[in-house]
A and B are shown apart, each in its own frame.
Chain A
């Protein structure tokens, strides 16, 4: 349940608010809805990673991946190892990590906050 809530609320909020709005959303949902530390983290991380991957995938496919190729070449100029993996894998992983870690730790912090004040 927390997974779905974080995903849906973030999707709507991100249409109007900057990217870091996912942190307070995950925090609140983690605080109000999560049952355990582990489930809160994975709900937050999974929801944001899923949301971001799904939306980025849509944007990437509908633009023939042109922007991803440019950004990939830009980063791999100084980070050579990126050249060995298709950008469509590495950059989705990086993105999922960025969104996932913020979402996960925020939800966890929310859950721990509830434990503290309970």
Chain B
């Protein structure tokens, strides 16, 4: 009996301890998590920084001054110490986030979250980002500056890891249940690969090939033109091309692969380029500013997450003093300013990802047809470790174009047919290792020449680098490695057996479009076409819609004596250029139908000032309507939703032009209604009614509260790892995807910056929708969100020396060598 009593109580005690020390299905190890000595309770609040920190690897004393926004201002005596300290500090605030990006890019998320990430991992692994990052990391020589910077940064991150105990682990590790790994230069490169994918990693080739196959070249030419009807390109129209172009490869007779039979068609997990991924930047010259010197603004639009993609820092040595937004995991400042210059970036939307149809000899996929012979593939076996499961393996075949992505055909189909695959040629696979040096030299640039030199180092993802300095120069350059293509090369799936379809070289870097001090007195970009069609090279047929660019250029054109505040107001501009263009045509059609007179939604549009302001109902109606309208016009002919053969829809630009100028076009007829021929009127009225009906069904009868744009749009800033409760929902904000204030449901200005250049010392403002700390339990996790939503900016503390006095300084930490 005694023995049984002992055994039962022992088993309960041991069993409980064991169960609570291990994850339970989806639940984390509850004992570890709830224990106040090590669990989540330890993650609350902000750890105050010590007055002195002894670290192995520091050469000379480093001062880190924290301001009232928890921005570290680093004053080091040499570069090794500077980047070491940057690595240490970023890890201290953002360790989980920076590692998460690298796990995603290298296709290793399943290792920490289990099977549910396996498809994403397979996709990312097949994209070959880890392979490329490995090659880049291995290509550095010991005395390359980039290598020294990367190594010092990694050493700083690892110095932080070394003294990290369980109780101080970021809470995400405790919840998900894993441990951080050592950092290395390779991981920083993965972080850059992640940016290449986010910014340059989409493709419409497959959808366009389906259009071409169904409708032929004339319809493509008419509905999918290579340049929009309304545009305001980045390089102002009329700018002279100041170079002798190199010869462009001749356009082959066939510009697309012959349609594959259905079995070999690509199952496209490749997303189309995301329209929300875009950005604004501009600089006004001294002739337009109140101070007589340039002012520069930038707001990159990315997925809005907590922790934020940006981290603010000031980095200083005796030969360098720079402030700006840094990417966690990446040394240096990515967007920022120093005493003399300021710079910013937006994405270049050129087509840098193409697909090649590959004909394999047999199902072994060991050889493929190219230039009249069988050429061997390289086989790479990828292994995926999965938390709580057996590993799985995936075989990836590489052609000279690049990796073969998924086939729609399942394994069983391979036995019946000789498979056709699709290989990806992507600028993201370029192994140039000097991207970081582009930013390294921008951080140190003093004038226009330094800016131009810095850009020669930067390759991918191509960015529109805007520039301004205190010598009154402004400039903008769509810059990066751009393939030298024949016209429309890669608009459709290319033929992988035809050498004429290969990428055959690059546009010489110095011939990338650029403009310095244009007569209009400002430069700007919003991801629209880099140039008008006079530029001698083909960059792509579709860039981001022109509306943001048009509005920015109008505002800046009209601006005199610009101040920081007037540029801030442009960043927050909610005017809807698309409404100005298309709404009059649409309203004319609605007005002719007398039943609309008493329609509250119609009346709201009549009274609308065409601004996507947060508490207006008209933007809700308009935005939902034009989305619906485009589907009503095109979906019957160009099904984007089709599972089998999805197609691209003609652009909004082309659609609005057709409504205005070709109201009798056959495309307005809905081919799915057999005995009726719809007119443009039917489509406009029908889509309007459908939109209002669906809004009413969802939100109740039209009322200012429930139909308010901000409520319907509902901008969310979710946690990067999608942990519920760790994000911020329903941020009150206007704007929208085609608006200068490009705040959509999930994307938006991820960092807003305005810098007023000065002969003595610049004045700069900025913030991002998040906070410096990546710790969800810290008040600095999301402290900038409310101010961001209101469109306000923080004045940035840019210190001249470490001894400068400021009421905003909260604490100082001296870092010294522990030897």
Bound Cα distance A23, B31 (Å): 12
Minimal Cβ-Cβ distance residue in A for B34: A95
Partner pick for B45 among A20, A62, A91, CB 8 A cutoff? A62
Contact of A99 among B34, B171, B779 (CB under 8 A): B34
A67-B35 CB under 8 A given contacts A27-B13, A115-B2, A116-B6: no
CB-CB under 8 A from A91, the residues of chain B are: 34
| Contacting pair B41 A60 (CB below 8 A) | yes
Q: Would B2 and A112 count as touching, CB distance under 8 A?
A: yes
Instruction: Please determine whether B20 and A102 come into contact, CB atoms closer than 8 angstroms.
Output: yes
* CB of A42 closer than 8 Å to a CB of B: no
Which stretch from B80-88, B328-336, B718-726 is at the chain A interface? B718-726
Contacting residue for A55 out of B10, B16, B36, B781, CB 8 A? B36
CB under 8 Å from chain B, chain A span 60-98: 60, 62-78, 91, 94-95, 98
Most interface-central of A18, A94, A102, A113 (chain B CB within 10 A): A102
Q: Given the interface contacts A19-B31, A102-B13, A106-B13, does A64 sit within 8 Å of B2 by beta carbon?
A: no
**Docked pose: A94 CA to B21 CA in angstroms:** 15
Q: Which residues of B contact A106 (CB under 8 A)?
A: 13, 17
A3 within 8 A of B: no
Would A72 and B725 count as touching, CB distance under 8 A? Answer: yes
Seen from chain A, the residues whose Cβ lies within 8 Å of a Cβ on chain B are: 14-15, 18-20, 23, 27, 37, 52, 55-56, 59-60, 62-78, 91, 94-95, 98-99, 101-102, 105-106, 108-109, 111-113, 115-116
Picked from B10, B20, B37, B776, the residue with its CB within 8 Å of the CB of A15 is B37
The residue from B3, B42, B725, B781 contacting A74, defined by CB atoms under 8 A apart: B725
Chain A hits for B42, CB < 8 A:
59
- Shortest Cβ-Cβ A-B pairs, 9 listed: A73-B725, A63-B44, A67-B777, A63-B45, A67-B44, A77-B724, A19-B35, A105-B13, A112-B6
B41: chain A residues within 8 A (beta carbon): 55-56, 59-60, 67-68
Q: Are B3 and A19 in touch, CB under 8 angstroms?
A: no
With both chains docked as a complex, state the minimum distance between the C-beta of A30 and any C-beta of chain B, in angstroms. Answer: 9
Given A73-B725, A77-B724, A109-B13, A67 and B32 contact (CB-CB distance below 8 Å): no
Interface of B is mostly: helix
Q: Is B175 an interface residue (CB 8 A)?
A: yes
Q: CA of A97 to CA of B45 in the docked complex: distance in angstroms? A: 25
How far is B171's CA from A23's CA once the two chains are assembled, in angstroms? 24
- A102–B16 contact, CB under 8 A? yes
Cα distance A104–B44 in the bound complex, in angstroms: 28
13 sample A-B contacts, Cβ–Cβ < 8 Å, listed by A number: A19-B21, A20-B17, A55-B41, A59-B41, A63-B45, A64-B45, A67-B44, A67-B776, A69-B725, A70-B776, A73-B724, A94-B34, A105-B9
Are B13 and A76 in contact, with the CB atoms below 8 A?
no
The CA of A48 and the CA of B559, in the complex, are separated in Å by 68
Given A63-B45, A98-B20, A112-B5, is A70 in contact with B726 using a C-beta cutoff of 8 Å? yes
Does B622 count as interface, using CB distance less than 8 angstroms?
no
Which chain B residue shows the least CB distance to A70? Answer: B776
CB distance from A85 to the nearest CB of B (A): 16
- Known pairs A62-B44, A67-B45; list 15 more (Cβ under 8 Å): A19-B21, A19-B32, A37-B5, A65-B44, A67-B40, A67-B171, A68-B41, A72-B725, A75-B725, A95-B34, A98-B31, A102-B20, A105-B12, A105-B16, A111-B9
- Per DSSP, chain A at the interface is helix
Q: How far is the CA of A15 from the CA of B724 in the complex (A)?
A: 31
Q: Which of A101, A109, A113 has the most CB of B within 10 A?
A: A109
B20 near A109: Cβ-Cβ < 8 Å: no
Is B43 part of the contact surface with A, judged by Cβ < 8 Å? yes
| Contact among A52, A63, A113 for B777, CB-based, below 8 A | A63
A31 CA / B724 CA spacing, docked (Å): 44
CB neighbours of A113 from chain B (8 A): 6, 10
Contact partners of A116 in chain B: CB under 8 A: 2-3, 6
**A-side contacts of B13, CB under 8 Å:** 23, 27, 102, 105-106, 108-109
- B30 at interface by CB-CB < 8 Å: yes
Question: Number of A-B pairs whose CB atoms are under 8 Å?
Answer: 135
Q: Are B725 and A77 in contact (CB under 8 A)?
A: yes
Quote the shortest CB–CB distance from A99 to chain B (angstroms).
Answer: 7
Hey, what's the 0/1 contact readout for B72-109 against A, CB within 8 Å counting as 1?
00000000000000000000000000000000000000
Chain B contributes a number of interface residues (CB within 8 A of A) equal to 41
- The 0/1 profile, CB within 8 Å of A marked 1, for residues 700-728 of chain B is 00000000000000000000000111100
Q: Are B30 and A98 within 8 A (Cβ)? A: yes
Residue among B3, B26, B726, B776 with the highest chain A CB neighbour number at 10 A: B776
Most buried by B among A19, A112, A116: A19
Q: Which residues of B contact A67 (CB under 8 A)?
A: 40-41, 43-45, 171, 776-777
B812 at interface by CB-CB < 8 Å: no
List B residues 748-778 near A (Cβ within 8 Å): 776-778
Docked pose: A95 CA to B35 CA in angstroms: 7
- Identify which of A37, A55, A69, A109 contacts B37 (C-beta below 8 A): A55
Q: Are B17 and A115 in contact (CB under 8 A)?
A: no
Q: Nearest-CB distance from A117 to chain B (Å)?
A: 9
Which residue from A14, A66, A109 sits with its C-beta under 8 Å from B35? Answer: A14
B39 on the interface (CB 8 Å rule)? yes
Which chain B residues border A105 with CB–CB below 8 Å?
Answer: 9, 12-13, 16
Contacts of A112 in B (CB 8 A): 2, 5-6, 9-10
The CA of A6 and the CA of B200, in the complex, are separated in Å by 60
Chain B's nearest CB lies how many Å from the CB of A13?
9
Q: What's the least CB distance linking B521 to chain A, in Å?
A: 48
Q: Which residue of the partner chain B has the closest CB to A61?
A: B44
Within the assembled complex, what's the spacing in Å between the Cα atoms of A98 and B724? 23
Least Cβ–Cβ distance between B726 and chain A, in angstroms: 6
B contact residues around A70 at 8 Å (CB): 171, 725-726, 776-777
In the bound assembly, the distance between CA atoms of A78 and B28 in angstroms comes to: 13
Which residues of chain B come closer than 8 Å to A55, judged between CB atoms?
Answer: 36-37, 41
Interface centre among A18, A60, A73, A74, by most chain B C-beta atoms within 10 angstroms, is A74
* Any A CB within 8 A of the CB of B646: no
A17 to chain B, nearest CB (A): 9
Cα A20 to Cα B38 with chains together (Å): 11
Q: How far is the CA of A116 from the CA of B6 in the complex (A)?
A: 7
A65, chain B: closest CB distance, angstroms: 7
Q: What residues of chain A lie closer than 8 Å to B43, measured between beta carbons?
A: 67
CB distance from A94 to the nearest CB of B (A): 7
Verify A56–B726 contact, CB threshold 8 A: no
Interchain nearest-CB distance for B202 vs A (Å): 31
Residues of chain A within 8 A of B14, CB atoms compared: 23, 109
- Contact between A20 and B21 (Cβ–Cβ < 8 Å)? yes
